[in-house]
Structure 1
Amino acid sequence: MPADLAQSLVALVSNLFRLLWAWLAWLLRLLRRRRDDEGYEKIDCFEIPPDVNRRPDPCLYSQTFLAAQGIAVTWDNPDIRITTPTGDPAPSPVLEANTDYLVVGTIHNASFDAAIGVSVRCFVRPWGFDFSQRTPVEVDAAGDPAERVVHIGPWGQALATFTWRTPNVAEGHYCLTVECAHPADREPNNNVGQENTDVRRSAAAAAQRFTVPFFNRRERVREFIIRADEYQIPEGRVELELEHIPGSRGIDDDRKRALMTASGLPPPDRTGNEPREEEIRRAIERDAIRGARIRLSSEERRQRRGRGYRVFGYRGRSALMADNRLDGFPLANGWTLTFPGLTEHPAGWRVAIPPGTTRDIEVVVEVPADAAAGDAKAINLTAMDPLGGVVGGVTIYLEVEA
């Protein structure tokens, strides 16, 4: 057989095999597609978005975090308790000098995932605003801050207890801080809570004066706004149920508009100029963080060549936040409060403090003449920087005497 003919036959057989293989591959793809059409589940791989990824969220009542959400706060922290060694309550403003107490911190887990190995520490700071100095209430054998490690189930809570011996000084007003930490924490901004209270007594139709130290820890002059209100945590139990938002499969025009407006982005207009997909995605992620909403890929939506979301939320959460808004609790019933020497501002009272110095802020509370003996007023003083960040605060309980 001539060499040219042999090479031609080899090439022909090779091409036949290639055609056969291509036909078999096409047949396999056809069978797989038919199998999918007959009801077999198709699984698409995608990266789990950060607002859905399961991670723990150890937390406690955090004034800085709540105020950043526009929620009023008290500095009488419900998650920090002081007791005697036998467990009897010991209100923080009435502590004896050079005496042993227990500081009990309640750590919550606001997540569907267990928080295993949460580190908790406790510190004491000088009473007042923004003091950077802090001392551990308890130390270990090496002299380092004592650490408690707790394990918290989904949406559970655990107690971390520390032994504290108060300083041997006559005036025992302190600010207690409890901090928790976890390496996979979903929201580390709600990990620090403060307990900073005082109790004063006054007759009716009298002016009660007291001072609160304010420290500027920075190396420059800083201005602050001090807000005053009478907010207290509502009594009773509040329950919110996670549920699917009807009509949220796919982002229709009305849903887009509401979502973008709530998230601070320009809403879509009526002329067809829709926001970019990336802007919608960022808005949904921000809304999920603020509103506990979850976004999930929708197979049906993808089949229509669009990207869809199924949105879940805690219905009633917005109303609950509105009922506890930061500016919703001015002093009422004839009680007035002033800061002599400070400049009044629409949002509160303005104060400027030189770098690295402490200024005593004088506070005057006018008790109305018709205040009855036994009446009490909780007055929260919260200091903020010009950007609205909380730098500290104190809650004063003013009781009316006979």
Structure 2
Amino acid sequence: MNTHQTTSLLLALAAIVLLARVLGALFRRFNQPAVIGEVLAGIALGPTLFHGAVSDALFPGGIRPLLSALAAVGVVLFMFIVGLEWDAAMIRGSGSLAATVSFSSILLPFGLGAVLALYLTDDYGTGDETAFMLFMGIAMSITAFPVLARILTDRGMTRSPLGVVALACASIDDVLAWSLLAAVVAISGSAGADQWHILLAVPYLLGMLFVVRPLLARFVARRPGLKLTPTVLASVLVGLLLSATATEWVGLHYIFGAFLFGAILPRTGSEQLRTDVHDRIGQLSGTLLLPVFFLVAGLQVDLSGLDADGLGTLGLILLVAVGGKFTGAFLAARLNRMPVRQSAALATLMNTRGLTELIVLNVGLQLGFLGQELYSLMVVMAVVTTAMAGPLLSWLIGRPTDDGRPEPARAPEQAAARVETAAQSPVS
């Protein structure tokens, strides 16, 4: 790197972090997830506004590969955090309700997404029709566990019956969606001449689950009160990077290795250590690296030429994404005798896509499943479905009060009491 590149990179990073923080804080004031403002910051710095004049001035071609590299590291750390937060105990504690809602809220939008892909293939197809259909189905099926958890935390609902079920459903959705995406990547032949490497994914997975995980559990059990020293943090980072490298090399994608390494870290006896790891890595990722990812994602979004046909396609995408996810979750919840308002609130929460959707879309763009025009429309869908969750929840179950508890919606007291009582029964 010469002096000009170094200066341009540092200036670009400063602009990215500042704009992401400002817009993130602004949207938080309107009871929206900060990720909405951060994504819009990336889009605003991209080619959508002023025909790319801002992006060309701030992010010259010489530094864009460097930004993409930083963005990849940010995604690795984020997926590790997602895996670290994933807990199978939430699934076991929610009974059959969470499994039913999760499968329904994935199968219906997946099927509708595949049908939509058939309709769009002439205008937006990328050559491999099967991969395009499967990927569109997956993109419509995503639920963002971190954003959903943040919404529930902000509303003081994480321990409520609805919150417990929603978190369990999102956990199952995460595993199913990542598994489906891994399968699509594996069968698409994206690894080229080294496609045979995909055969090594099975021994890698078995080794992580039945060798590495027990060894880590034994290590932690023999060291009660283990603290996050620089050596421990370095060891975690090395393991994370090696796991991400392994899945990238076998022809999957580095996001799967990062997620799996976080998921296999011991849960018992290391609660404080996991919290410290989460906080230490999460702050670096959330403050610097993820805003860079939003910028890199935003540079691929170009809505400046959006016309009537594009708006029509966007409308279809939103209809399939929102309608498929909502209907699948709502019907499954009702079949499990969850009250109407609670079922609708659960279906609304399952529609949050956020950063998880952006990561999936970027995988699709990198591997050629999506073209840039359709990618731009799908990013808009991710933003809209995430932004609508808060207002719809307030309309369905009331606004959060100062103490973090939801304020009851305007309804007769007896009806509200019946809803609350019924909401608890299917979870217990």
TM-score range, shorter chain: under 0.3
Higher RCO by CA contacts (8 Å cutoff, separation 6 or greater): 2
More helix, by proportion: 2
Q: TM-score, normalised by structure 2?
A: 0.25
More strand, by proportion: 1
Q: TM-score, normalised by structure 1?
A: 0.26
Structure of greater Rg: 1
